[in-house]
Amino acid sequence: MISIEHISQSLHEALSASLNSTLVLLIEMVIAGVLVIALFAVLGLVLVFMERKVSAYIQIRLGPNRVGYQGFAQTAADTLKLLIKEGLTPDGADKFLFNLAPLVVMVVAMLIMAPIAFTKGFQLWDINIGVLYVSAVSSISVIGILMAGWASNNKYSMLGAMRSGAQIVSYELSAGLSVITIVILVGSLSINDIIASQQNGWWIFKGHIPVMISFIIFVIAVTAETNRAPFDLAEAESELTAGFHTEYSGMRFAFFFLAEYVNIFVVCAIGATLFFGGWMPFHIGSWEAFNHVMDFIPGIVWFFGKIFSLIFLIMWFRWTFPRLRIDQLLNLEWKYLLPIAMFNLLLTTLMAITGFYFK
């Protein structure tokens, strides 16, 4: 069976045969970089298209259906339009920060991609503190948003940025705490170890109610962290026109837009890794035949299937719920989610010590 692992292995062997190790590393890094950028672009196109189709389905519309088959080329056409558009910098804006902000947001979104294990043996960077790395790097994006809001010299932008700052900083706590529950159960921060621990069953099934609670908190927190409705206060269309990116146009706007979708992808990938076994197939106890059939489906299909199910869930939120108000948003985090997450952490620790979970 051809798998991505074999391809990368044989590529590595072929390169090592004729070149010295430094050059091999260099070439491999270039390949990895190109792959990440390609994935980035493809994800942007696919997710934007998916969002438009999902929203159309929920809103009893057809969605884009003229450009390409079923409108599939629509996002490509939109990207082309954004590329050609003039990128305006408003008078009185801090030009350096204004131009830097989309780059920061974009680079952060790319960086988080590094430790994600797409399938067995296919990972850009097998770092032993993968989960910690992701939560650390993802909080940098708030700086980009604050930068954008401040540098735009626009009151709407600034309000949006301030909201977003308060929001991301708060929700990172409960997102972090719910991630830690799994780390405690596994006993490792490495993404590969976490996936390996789910060989005999995903944590969402093995971990009883505490893990389910932490999954729910995780989903709420990452929805807030990626500034998606019902927590999209940073852009709040009907209140702040477009929030922190009001003044952005052309490709710089597209960077924010792309970064939002890639962030969604990454947090869903983390969610799938932590709670749904990453690229591990779905197994049911002793159903040998069933398990073999499941094994036959490649890991990458499993992984992307799980990610896209989670993304669909988050899109579903966006097109269903009204938006919260800023004080309600912070109340939800500090008065409900955070205490629950902390108590839940205690429960999980107890569970890990006593070994009371399905093994």
Partner 1 sequence: MQYEEVATTEEGNLVINVGPQHPATHGVMHLVITLNGETILKVEPHLGYIHRSIEKMCESLSYRQFIYSTSRMDYLSAHINNHGCALAVEKGLQIEVPERAKVIRVLMDELTRVASHVLWWGAMAMDVGALTPFFHAFRERELINDIMEETCGARLTMNYMVPGGVMADLHPDFVRKVKDFVAFFRTKIDEYDTLITHNVIFQGRMKGVGVISAADAVSYGCTGPVLRACGVKCDIRKLSPYDGYEKLNFEEPLETAGDSYARYLQRMRELRESLSIIDQLIDNIPEGDFQAKTKAVLKLPKGEFYSRVETARGEFGVYIISEGGLTPYRIHFRSPGFNNLAALDHMARGQKIGDLVAIMGTLDLVIPDIDR
Which residues here bind partner 1, judged by CB under 8 A?
Answer: 55, 58-61, 155-156, 159, 163, 229-230, 232-233, 236-241, 319-328
The DSSP element (H or E) to which 108 belongs, if any, is helix 95-112
Closer residue to partner 1 in complex, CB, 167/348: 167
CB of 156 to partner 1, least distance (A): 7
Question: Tokens 């405690």 belong to which residue?
Answer: 184
How far from chain centre, in Å, is Cα 338?
21
d(CA 78, CA 76): 5
Q: Is the dihedral of CA 97, 99, 102, 104 positive or negative?
A: negative
User: Please, what is the minimum distance in Å from the beta carbon of residue 320 to partner 1?
Assistant: 6
Distance linking the first and last C-alpha atoms of the chain: 30
**Of residues 211 and 329, the one with the C-beta less far from partner 1:** 329
Cβ–Cβ under 8 Å, residues 119 and 298? yes
C-alpha–C-alpha distance, residues 167 and 141, integer Å: 12
Q: Smaller CB distance to partner 1: residue 120 or 163?
A: 163
How many Å apart are CA 239 and CA 350, to the nearest integer?
45
Q: How far is the CB of 162 from partner 1 (least distance, A)?
A: 8
119: part of which helix (H) or strand (E)?
Answer: strand 117-119
Measured from the CB atom, is 230 or 305 closer to partner 1? 230
CB of 159 to partner 1, least distance (A): 7
- Measured from the CB atom, is 326 or 345 closer to partner 1? 326
Distance between alpha carbon 60 and the CA centroid of its chain, in Å? 28
* Residue 188 or 241 with smaller CB distance to partner 1: 241
Shortest distance in whole angstroms from residue 238 CB to partner 1: 5
Smallest separation, CB 253 to partner 1 (Å)? 17
Coil, helix or strand at residue 117: strand
